C-alpha cells in the first residue's frame, strides 16, 4: 500500500474513547439523581469540574477484555522480571500430520502492569510492542517504556501534542514506527481487509516463521485487542491454528506453565480466534543486522 493510501489504524482508541465516555455519562446521571441541586452548567461529561480529578481516582478502571473489568481498582503489582519464551513446553494443537512453524530466537512476555504501571484497558498495544522489541535475544535492553513510546510518537509527529502521558491506545502502525525509531527488529506491515479474517494469510505466516521470523503483532477494528502470534500449524486437512500470546494478563506469573494453563499463551483455531467482521493489521518482525543474527542460531 502506497504512502498515499495509509493503512487503516486499529479501532482501539475509538472504542476505548466511546466506552469511557459512556461510563462517565452513566456516572454523571447517577450523580445528578443523588445530588439534584447540582447545576448542569457545572458539569463536564457528567461530573462537577472541581471534583473531577479526585473522583477519577475513585472510579473503577475500565477494561473491555476481561470479566473483572467492573471490580474496584487493585494496586498494580511491583515491577517484575519478564518471563522468557513462555510458549516452550506447549504440545502441538493436533496429533495428525501437519506443518508446524514457530518463531526463531527468544522474546520476553510483557503484559498489563508488569512494570508497576496500571495500564489495564489501554496498554495491550504497548505491551505487545515491548515483546516485539525484546526479540530476538530475549533481553530487556532496548525495550522502551510506555512513556518513551508515547514521547517518540509525539516527537515523530504521528501523534498530536498531549499524547504523551495519556491513556490512548496504539496499534500495529504505531508499533512499526517505534521499532524503527528505537532501533529494534524490522517491522513489516500487512493489511487484511474486513471480512477476510486471517485465513488468507496463513501461508504467509507459515513462511515467515519457517524462515526465521519473529513475533507478529496483530490488531483490528472490531477486534481491537492487540496480541502477538508466535507460530502457525496447518493441517491435517483444513484445520489451522495460530499460537497466540495475550498481553492482557494482570498479576505476577510464577512460571510459563501457569500462563499456559490459563490460556494466556496457547494454540487457537483460526476460525474462532479472529473476527471475520474485523479488518486486521499485522506487523511482522525480522532481524535488521548481523549483530542480532546470533540470537537465532
**Active site residue ranges:** 124, 246, 248
For residue 114, list its beta bridge partners: none
Cell of 100: 508446524
Half-sphere exposure of 270 (CA within 13 A, CB side): 20
Q: With beta carbons less than 8 A apart as the criterion, state whether 98 and 249 touch.
A: no
For residue 109, list its beta bridge partners: 83
Q: What values do phi and psi take at 6, rounded to 5?
A: -65, 155
Cell of 243: 499460537
Q: Between β-strands 240-245 and 227-234, what pairing exists: parallel, antiparallel or unpaired?
A: antiparallel
Q: Say which CATH topology domain 99-294 has.
A: Cathepsin B; Chain A (3.90.70)
The model's pTM = 0.78
Per-residue pLDDT of the chain (297 residues; tens, 9 = 90+): 444 468 899 975 445 444 444 444 443 443 334 333 333 332 233 333 232 232 223 223 334 344 444 445 666 668 889 999 999 999 999 988 999 999 999 999 999 999 999 999 999 999 999 999 999 999 999 999 999 999 999 999 999 999 999 999 999 999 999 999 999 999 999 999 987 778 889 999 999 999 999 999 999 999 999 999 999 999 999 999 999 999 999 999 999 999 999 999 999 999 999 998 999 999 999 997 644 555 555
Amino acid at each position: 500500500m502506497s504512502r498515499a493510501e495509509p493503512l487503516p489504524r486499529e479501532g482501539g482508541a475509538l472504542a476505548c474513547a466511546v466506552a469511557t465516555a459512556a461510563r462517565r455519562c452513566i456516572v454523571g446521571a447517577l450523580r445528578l439523581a443523588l445530588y439534584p441541586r447540582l447545576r448542569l452548567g457545572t458539569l463536564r461529561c457528567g461530573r462537577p469540574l472541581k471534583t473531577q480529578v479526585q473522583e477519577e481516582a475513585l472510579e473503577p478502571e475500565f477494561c473491555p477484555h476481561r470479566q473483572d473489568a467492573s471490580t474496584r481498582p487493585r494496586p498494580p503489582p511491583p515491577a517484575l522480571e519478564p518471563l522468557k519464551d513462555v510458549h516452550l513446553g506447549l504440545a502441538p494443537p493436533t496429533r495428525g500430520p501437519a506443518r508446524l512453524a514457530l518463531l526463531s530466537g527468544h522474546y520476553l512476555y510483557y503484559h498489563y502492569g508488569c512494570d508497576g504501571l496500571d495500564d489495564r484497558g489501554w496498554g495491550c498495544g504497548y505491551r505487545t510492542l515491548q515483546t516485539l522489541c525484546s526479540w530476538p535475544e530475549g533481553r530487556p535492553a532496548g525495550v522502551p517504556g510506555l512513556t518513551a513510546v508515547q514521547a517518540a510518537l509525539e516527537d515523530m509527529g504521528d501523534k498530536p501534542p498531549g499524547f504523551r502521558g495519556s491513556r490512548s491506545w496504539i496499534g500495529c502502525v504505531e508499533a512499526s514506527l517505534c521499532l524503527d525509531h528505537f532501533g529494534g527488529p524490522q517491522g513489516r506491515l500487512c493489511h487484511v481487509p474486513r471480512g477476510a479474517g486471517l485465513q488468507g494469510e496463513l501461508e504467509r505466516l507459515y513462511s515467515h516463521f519457517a524462515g526465521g521470523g519473529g513475533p507478529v503483532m496483530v490488531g483490528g477494528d472490531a477486534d481491537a485487542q492487540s496480541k502477538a502470534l508466535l507460530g502457525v500449524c496447518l493441517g491435517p486437512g483444513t484445520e489451522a491454528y495460530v499460537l497466540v500470546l495475550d498481553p492482557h494478563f494482570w498479576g505476577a506469573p510464577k512460571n510459563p506453565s501457569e500462563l499456559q494453563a490459563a490460556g494466556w499463551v496457547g494454540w487457537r483455531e483460526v476460525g474462532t480466534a479472529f473476527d471475520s467482521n474485523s479488518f486486521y493489521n499485522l506487523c511482522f518482525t525480522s532481524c535488521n543486522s548481523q549483530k542480532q543474527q546470533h540470537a537465532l542460531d
